[in-house]
Amino acid sequence: MSTITIGIIGLILFLVLLFSGIPVSFAMLFLGIMGLCVLRTPEAAFSMVNDSFTSTFTSYTTTVAPMFILMGVIAGYSGVGASLVETINKFIGHRRGGIAMSVQAVCAIFGAICGSVPATLATIGKIAYPEMKKRNYDDRLSTGAICAGSTLCILIPPSLTFIIYGMVTEESVGKLFISGIVTGVILMVLYMIAVFIWCRISPTISPVSERTAWKYRFKSLLNGGLIQIIIVFIIAMGGLFIGFFTPTEAGAVGVAGIMIVTIITKSLDFKKFAESLRETIRLTVMIYFLLATASVYGKFFSFTRIPYVISDWVVSMNLSVVVIMLMITLIYLILGMLIDAQALILLTIPIFYPVVIEMGLSGLWFGTYIVVVVGMALMTPPVAVATYIMQGLSGVKLQKIFVGVIPFIICDLVMMVLLILFPSIATWLPGLMTR
């Protein structure tokens, strides 16, 4: 049996295990070990497993994850998200669709301290949905806007998805963070435009709210923690941009900054802090284990030579870059309907990354592009993690939520086209970094 055939069997079995409910990490570990035993020897297989776990848990690169996770978890437990919603809502909540638009800004800002879609969605959704429900917003608009806004956090640094992509491909995590800033801001604006157009076409889905007096707006601005969070973001990401911090150091600075914010606002007690540490440990171990098992499965997949065969085949076809990217995107869209985001990244990047590099494209640009695609996949049925979480928070029927995310999925498609036509959107800002 050829190595290619073994690799295809391993890929099919991986999908079967996923659909049967086996956790992604255990499926990759099991199939990785079995595949390595077949292609090499059991002794070599377990030696490589040991190397994968040791290198993952002791790598300096992986230390970037715990700091940013802790920063996001502290922000969630301290109630910073609630303050952000209240502050931004006072400024634009009185406009038609204002709360839905403010959710996009809130999620983008909250994403600057929390790179997890479920955490952002749970935090902002619990606050924003009842507010929109109280003001008679249509459920399609409210749930769709919250789902879409939550996906911005995987573009706005610090992003756990960028961290995973960087660890798998060995691209600079710091440059990936910076590349997501411009893309994330543009996508946020596109989401706001979608809300504005939707409310213009169908005014009944979004009643007009009362205008808040300016003195209360400024009071909320000063007391809501928005300014402090922006300062923390500028210091951490600014230091990373100019080369003063490494990504790990930027995360530590971010943690210190968010701790100072919670002390100033008196929003974090010892019990919440202890819970934050426990949650950080849980998430960090989960990510480290996932990366280690992905490394095992990746070694098996590399021995099958499937990624290199696909790369050579694609290059030999002499297709244009646009056509190849459309093919890759289509595959992501199909798989994104069936597989969750982390599994999608870990399963496909080892296959497509060599193809992209062989074509002479930037791995940095590809990472940004793929994160946009993954964000869209989180909203695309039938497997749409963001919509399922939103359904659990709101009790709204999934059919309504799926209708509500359609305008935002169109925005994602527009963003993907912009990235293909103007790659500098993702590469310009990282290109200015000093290191």
Per-residue pLDDT tens over the stretch 111-134: 777 767 777 787 777 777 887 887
182-186, 237-241, 253-257, 402-406: least confidently modelled range: 237-241
pLDDT of residue 227: 72
27-41, 137-151, 166-180, 280-294: least confidently modelled range: 280-294
pLDDT of residue 382: 63
How far apart, in whole angstroms, are the C-alpha atoms of residue 34 and residue 28? Answer: 10
pLDDT of residue 237: 72
**Mean pLDDT value across residues 87-91:** 71
Query: Residue 159's closest CA among 116, 127, 126?
Result: 116
Percentage with pLDDT > 70 across the chain: 85
Q: Per the structure block, which two tokens stand in for 379?
A: 């909203």
pLDDT of residue 338: 58
pLDDT of residue 84: 67
pLDDT of residue 343: 66
Count of residues in the chain: 435
Orientation angle between helical segments 80-92 and 247-265, nearest 10 degrees: 80
Top mean pLDDT of 10-24, 58-72, 194-208, 384-398 is at: 194-208
If one compares 318 and 280, the residue with the highest pLDDT of the two is 280
How far apart, in whole angstroms, are the C-alpha atoms of residue 169 and residue 50? Answer: 20
Question: CB neighbours of 418 closer than 8 A, spacing ≥ 6?
Answer: 186, 425
Residue 188 binned pLDDT confidence (cut-offs 50, 70, 90): very high
Question: CB neighbours of 348 closer than 8 A, spacing ≥ 6?
Answer: 331, 332, 335
**Mean pLDDT value across residues 24-34:** 86
pLDDT of residue 37: 92
Are 172 and 392 contacting, i.e. CB atoms less than 8 angstroms apart?
Answer: no
Q: Per the structure block, which two tokens stand in for 48?
A: 């490589």
- What's the whole-number average pLDDT of the chain? 81
